[in-house]
Amino acid sequence: MAIEYTHLKGWQIPQATQSYGHKDCILYALGLGFGNEPANPAQLRFLYERGLQAFPSMAVVLATGVSWAADPGTGIDYTRVLHAEQSFELHRPLPTQGEVVGRTSVAEVIDKGAGRGAIVMTQRDLYIDGQATPTATLRSSLFCRADGGFGGPVTESPKPHPVPERAADSRLAIKTLRQAALIYRLSGDVNPLHCDPGVAASAGFREPILHGLCTFGTAIRSALEAAGVDPADVKAGGARFTSPVYPGETLQTEIWRDGALITFRTSILERDKLALNNGWLRLR
């Protein structure tokens, strides 16, 4: 079964609901490696319930719902889907607890042509504690490698955020934990690719890989620390995924600061490969 543009564009994705609290916020922060300096007040604010704050990128793991793209009715070959891009926008600060409703829709389907794949873009709005307007808006792109040439609109994908040509203003390296994927999966993504060696091997990896969104959150943490910016000042951010990361590898993030805009990219030091590119953060 192939993608049918109108059918997929109008796909009804079930609404997702979730209750979360202090423990969920702390667990998310631990998954990003916070706690390597347990006496550091800048880290404890995300790890200790007294004065606890939610790290801004935590919005991406809330009310995610089911893996709707795995439904055969979508026409997507889910075995060959990659998470291509992710962004978030906070319309107000993310609370540390609440009842959250996630409403997701297919924003666009781009046919890159036969043999070139397709891009499926989605938007998820998070409504917390019954508020009439969303607390956060999340946008995500799936690269469906096997699904191009289905006869849909052949358009260019949106241009990624540009990385300045000048030398980076600063950089920061963080070594991920060997158990990072086992911690991060408790924030909601229980795909066995991140914990089962057999599943990882069948997908062509030497061992379970780190969640892309864990790399994303870790890179944002690094970018903010390198820029000396308070995470509470983050309004929005995003990045493009380029290479998978193995738990235990070192992520080095370069940043460029231009007023209220931070640009970043993140490399895997041990393999000299880019993990994330075209990253950006917009400050309040």
Q: Is residue 162 part of a domain?
A: no
Show which of 144, 161, 189 is a domain's final residue. Answer: 144
Residues 140 and 53 in one domain: yes
Q: Is residue 226 part of a domain?
A: yes
- Provide the number of structural domains found in the chain: 2
Residues 114 and 208 in one domain: no
User: What distances in angstroms separate CA 244 from CA 134, 187, 194, 198, 267, one per listed residue?
Assistant: 31, 19, 11, 17, 11
Residues 111 and 211 in one domain: no
Does residue 13 register a pLDDT over 90?
Answer: yes
Amino acid of residue 262: I
Does residue 201 register a pLDDT over 90?
Answer: yes
Predicted local distance difference test score (pLDDT) of residue 152 = 84
User: What distances in angstroms separate CA 283 from CA 45, 126, 263, one per listed residue?
Assistant: 19, 20, 11
Domain span at residue 108? 5-144
Return the CATH number at 221.
3.10.129.10
Q: Is residue 155 part of a domain?
A: no
Residues 62 and 180 in one domain: no
Q: Is residue 108 part of a domain?
A: yes
Predicted local distance difference test score (pLDDT) of residue 84 = 95
Strand order in the sheet with 98-111: 16-20, 98-111, 118-128, 136-144, 81-90, 234-241, 273-283, 261-268, 250-258, 170-175
User: What distances in angstroms separate CA 59 from CA 16, 19, 132, 192, 214, one per listed residue?
Assistant: 14, 13, 18, 22, 12
Percent of the chain residues past pLDDT 70, beyond the cut: 100
Predicted local distance difference test score (pLDDT) of residue 168 = 98
Active site residues: 189, 194
Q: Is residue 160 part of a domain?
A: no
Residues 184 and 257 in one domain: yes
Where residue 188 falls among pLDDT bands split at 50, 70, 90? very high
pLDDT in tens, 135-185: 999 999 999 989 999 988 767 778 999 999 999 999 999 999 999 999 999
pLDDT in tens, 65-110: 988 999 999 999 988 888 999 999 999 999 999 999 999 999 999 9
Residues 128 and 206 in one domain: no
pLDDT average, residue stretch 48-69: 95
Closest CA to 93 of 187, 256, 225, 233: 233
Residues 200 and 124 in one domain: no
Predicted local distance difference test score (pLDDT) of residue 135 = 98
Residues 46 and 132 in one domain: yes
pLDDT in tens, 17-41: 999 999 999 999 999 999 999 999 9
Residues 62 and 127 in one domain: yes
Predicted local distance difference test score (pLDDT) of residue 209 = 96
Show which of 105, 127, 144 is a domain's final residue. Answer: 144
Where residue 130 falls among pLDDT bands split at 50, 70, 90? very high
Residues 134 and 180 in one domain: no
Show which of 110, 127, 144 is a domain's final residue. Answer: 144
Q: CB neighbours of 228 closer than 8 A, spacing ≥ 6? A: none
Predicted local distance difference test score (pLDDT) of residue 223 = 98
Q: Is residue 158 part of a domain?
A: no
Residue given tokens 């796909």 in the structure block: 11
Residue given tokens 């790290």 in the structure block: 55
Sign of the dihedral defined by the CA atoms of residues 142, 144, 148, 150, in that order: negative
Query: Would you state the structure tokens that stand for residue 78, as one six-digit string?
Result: 């889910």
Residues 88 and 188 in one domain: no
Q: Is residue 51 part of a domain?
A: yes
Residues 117 and 197 in one domain: no
Q: Is residue 161 part of a domain?
A: no
Predicted local distance difference test score (pLDDT) of residue 240 = 97
Q: What is the mean pLDDT of the chain?
A: 95
Predicted local distance difference test score (pLDDT) of residue 203 = 85
Predicted local distance difference test score (pLDDT) of residue 274 = 98
pLDDT in tens, 214-261: 999 999 999 999 999 999 999 999 999 999 999 999 999 999 999 999
